[in-house]
């Protein structure tokens, strides 16, 4: 703080106290003259200090002296200008960064992210279309060459199951009473049905293999191994049970009164019916795989394209603050703004600048970063779900194909998902660093 000295001098005569004109240099002291006859009490410090406020130019000269000191001393001037210009520059750089990366549709990483999401969506749509084409081929081969065999055998299995239930009733009644001619005819009908089923079971795989030669796709996409896993065992079990049923029914129908009815007969009929139901499910399992695949493709809901609108109100306030900082910095450097006026302006508006920066960051964080995070999580979940399910379904369908048919495997290998670009969030990380650094500098 600059000290101002009040220098007193004694005049030769008179009782009036005279004050010289103020010094031209603001750093010189104020000279006040007193009469030689003035009492010592009027020269006390309190009296002299009381006379200072009476001089109306003292506060102005104090401010002028302080301003001169701040501009004459290089270290003080450089410190003030550096802090002011650095703050304005940081705010300007942040405006440029936000405008480039958030606002400007041509350069913003929000636009790049939108393009990435659109690209990923288009990739998935393309793979859905490819999967649909694959499914159409599988359905075409099945409907032309396999469906009639499966439908015919399934219908026979259902007829035999129904007739076997009737025979169960007939032979159960025969234990205690004679059977009617109508019931005998039902036994004969079951006998014929079992005989026909025995022929169909024996020819099924042969007929299925012959159809593969007729397919326009050759041995590709053809479910030659229609009975997989336990289904082959079930087919053999039913074949054995049919032979047993034929022998027993022929014996029972030829001599109803003499044939003994043992409990094992009912056990075999129950086992036969259970195996019929299981074999029917085996025959239809491949078609159910195709139907489930089709439903999964049709039920997919892809994520909408990414859209973002910057927070207009807070962004406008932020830009106006930057213009204000640039204005006061240029005025101070041009010596058209006093240090006192600069301090007053910063005291009045500085907190608003910081608040607006915080509010803009908060708005961007809530409206953009949170939205991006949710969108990426949703996109990741959809993609992982789709491609995992697709791989599982294709692998499951592959079990029904010829062993050396790699058409489905090649289909999966051609998917561009294996060459999917890595999402690079470096740009957003840089933005966060700049925002955080700027906030820190402004607060300091």
Going by C-alpha positions, the residue among 159, 184, 204, 169 that lies closest to residue 255 is 184
Residues 6+ positions from 310 with CB-CB distance below 8 Å: 102, 103, 364
What is the rounded CA–CA span in Å between residue 51 and residue 286?
Answer: 110
Residue bearing tokens 């939108």: 114
The domains of the chain are located at 6-72, 75-107+308-443, 129-298
Distance CA 281, CA 295 (A): 19
Distance CA 205, CA 420 (A): 43
CB 190 within 8 A of CB 163: yes
Whole-prediction pTM: 0.64
CA 293 to chain centre: 24
**How far is the C-alpha of 322 from the C-alpha of 95, rounded, in Å?**
8
444 residues of the chain, pLDDT tens digit each:
333 444 444 444 444 444 445 555 444 455 555 566 666 666 666 666 666 655 556 666 666 666 666 666 667 777 878 888 888 888 888 888 888 878 887 877 778 888 888 888 888 888 999 999 999 999 999 999 999 999 999 999 898 888 888 888 887 777 777 777 787 788 788 888 888 888 888 888 889 889 999 999 988 999 988 777 778 788 777 877 777 777 777 777 666 555 566 667 777 788 888 888 888 888 899 999 999 999 999 888 776 667 777 788 888 888 898 888 888 888 878 887 777 777 888 888 888 888 888 888 888 877 777 778 888 888 888 888 888 999 999 999 999 999 899 999 999 888 887 765 554 444 444 444 333 333 333 333
Six-digit token pair at 317?
């306030």
- Provide the edge-to-edge strand list for the sheet that holds 30-34: 6-10, 30-34, 18-19
- H or E element at residue 19: strand 18-19
3 state SS of 109:
helix
Cβ-contact 20, 32 below 8 angstroms: yes
**Which phi and psi angles does 18 have, rounded to 5°?**
-110, 145
User: Is residue 29 classed as helix, strand or coil in its secondary structure?
Assistant: coil
């Amino acid at each position: 703080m600059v000290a101002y000295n009040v220098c007193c001098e004694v005049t030769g005569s008179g009782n009036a106290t005279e004050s010289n004109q103020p010094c031209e240099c603001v750093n010189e002291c104020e000279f006040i003259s007193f009469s030689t006859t003035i009492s010592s009490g009027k020269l006390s410090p309190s009296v002299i200090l009381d006379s200072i406020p009476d001089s109306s130019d003292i506060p102005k000269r104090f401010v002028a002296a302080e301003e001169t000191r701040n501009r004459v001393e290089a270290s003080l001037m450089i410190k003030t200008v550096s802090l002011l210009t650095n703050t304005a520059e940081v705010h300007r750089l942040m405006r440029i960064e936000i405008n480039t990366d958030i606002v400007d549709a041509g350069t913003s990483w929000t636009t790049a992210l939108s393009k990435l999401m659109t690209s990923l969506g288009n990739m998935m749509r393309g793979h859905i279309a490819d999967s649909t084409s694959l499914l159409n081929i599988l359905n075409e081969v099945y409907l032309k060459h396999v469906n009639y065999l499966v439908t015919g055998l399934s219908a026979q299995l259902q007829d035999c199951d129904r007739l076997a239930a009737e025979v169960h009733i007939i032979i159960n009644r025969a234990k205690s009473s004679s059977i009617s001619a109508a019931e005998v005819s039902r036994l004969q009908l079951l006998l014929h049905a079992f005989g026909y089923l025995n022929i169909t079971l024996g020819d099924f795989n042969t007929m299925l293999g012959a159809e593969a030669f007729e397919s326009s796709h050759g041995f590709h996409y053809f479910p030659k191994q229609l009975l997989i896993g336990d289904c082959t065992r079930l087919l053999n079990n039913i074949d054995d049970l049919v032979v047993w049923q034929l022998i027993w029914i022929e014996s029972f129908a030829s001599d109803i009164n003499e044939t003994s009815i043992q409990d094992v007969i009912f056990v075999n009929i129950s086992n036969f019916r259970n195996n019929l139901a299981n074999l029917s499910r085996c025959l239809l399992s491949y078609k159910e795989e195709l139907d489930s695949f089709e439903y999964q493709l049709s039920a997919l809901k892809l994520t909408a394209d990414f859209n973002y609108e910057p927070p207009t109100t807070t962004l406008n306030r932020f830009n106006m603050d930057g213009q204000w900082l640039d204005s006061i910095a240029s005025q101070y450097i041009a010596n058209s703004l006093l240090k006192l006026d600069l301090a007053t302006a910063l005291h009045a508006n500085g907190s608003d600048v910081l608040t607006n920066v915080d509010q803009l960051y908060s708005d961007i964080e809530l409206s953009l970063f949170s939205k991006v995070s949710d969108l990426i999580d949703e996109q990741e979940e959809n993609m992982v779900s789709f491609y995992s399910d697709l791989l599982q379904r294709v692998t499951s369908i592959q079990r029904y194909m010829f062993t050396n048919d790699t058409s489905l495997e090649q289909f999966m290998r051609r998917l561009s998902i294996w060459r999917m670009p890595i999402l690079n969030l470096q740009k957003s990380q840089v933005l966060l660093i700049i925002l955080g650094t700027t906030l820190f500098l402004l607060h300091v």
